[in-house]
Structures are given as C-alpha cells and as structure tokens.
Amino acid sequence: RKEVEQDPGPFNVPEGATVAFNCTYSNSASQSFFWYRQDCRKEPKLLMSVYSSGNEDGRFTAQLNRASQYISLLIRDSKLSDSATYLCVVKSPASNTGKLIFGQGTTLQVKP
C-alpha cells in the first residue's frame, strides 16, 4: 500500500463547477500536510498547507481529518487556469529532514 493515495482521475469539469479531491495517508504519526500543484511538464509548486482547523485561500479550501487520515481539497468556481495535476503531500514523520511523500496526483481538466 502506498503511503499517500489519491484517485488519479482525470476529473473533467465545466468552468464554474465545484470539484473536490481526496487523499488518504497511512502513517498516523504524520504531522504536516500540503497540496502541491503541477502544471504539464513543469515542477510541483506549493498550493497550500493543510491544517486540522481547515484553511481557505480564495476559491481553495483544504481540510484534514486526522482520525480518518484523510485530506481534501475543494475548488469552487473552477477556472480554465485551474487545469493541472494536484498532488497530495505528507511530510515524513520518520525524519527531521523535511522529506516529502507525494501521492500519485489527481488530474483536473476544466473545460469551457
């Protein structure tokens, strides 16, 4: 079983739709969680951190459920420019190096 699991999609949605991505992680000792965005043929870039209290950044909302070891990302009013791969990321609890463990990524295609 992979340490971080995501539905790879693709998710094909019309502009303006609300879309949600889910992710589960296997190590209950994990402490830090993130969503990264990766455009085609580009490097991953930090989208947002994820906290137990939930956090919102404009149209993006991230939630963490530690009991279920479950992370989510909600995108409201999706734009064409949101088309990308969204990577669920967990910081390894096994070291103090900041090593990140990535999920497979979920591909989003927003269509006009």
Partner 1 sequence: GAGVSQSPRYKVAKRGQDVALRCDPISGHVSLFWYQQALGQGPEFLTYFQNEAQLDKSGLPSDRFFAERPEGSVSTLKIQRTQQEDSAVYLCASSLTGSGNTIYFGEGSWLTVV
For partner 1, the binding residues (CB under 8 A) are 4, 6, 8, 42-46, 87, 92, 95-105
In the bound state with partner 1, the residue whose beta carbon lies nearer, of 1 and 112, is 1
Residue 81 Cβ vs partner 1, minimum distance, rounded to whole Å: 19
For residues 20 and 106, is the Cβ–Cβ distance under 8 A? no
Nearer to partner 1, 9 or 17 (CB): 9
> Smallest distance, Å, CB 106 to partner 1?
10
Q: Considering beta carbons, is residue 76 or 102 the nearer one to partner 1?
A: 102
Structure tokens belonging to residue 41: 């043929």
Q: Comparing C-alpha atoms, which of 1, 23, 39 is closest to residue 74? A: 23
**Which lies closer to partner 1 via its Cβ, residue 13 or residue 100?**
100
Least spacing, CB of residue 91 vs partner 1, in Å: 9
**CB pairs under 8 A, 24+ apart, for 62-69?**
62/35, 64/33, 66/28, 68/24, 69/24, 69/25, 69/26, 69/28, 69/30
Minimum CB distance to partner 1, residue 29 (Å): 15
DSSP state of 81: G
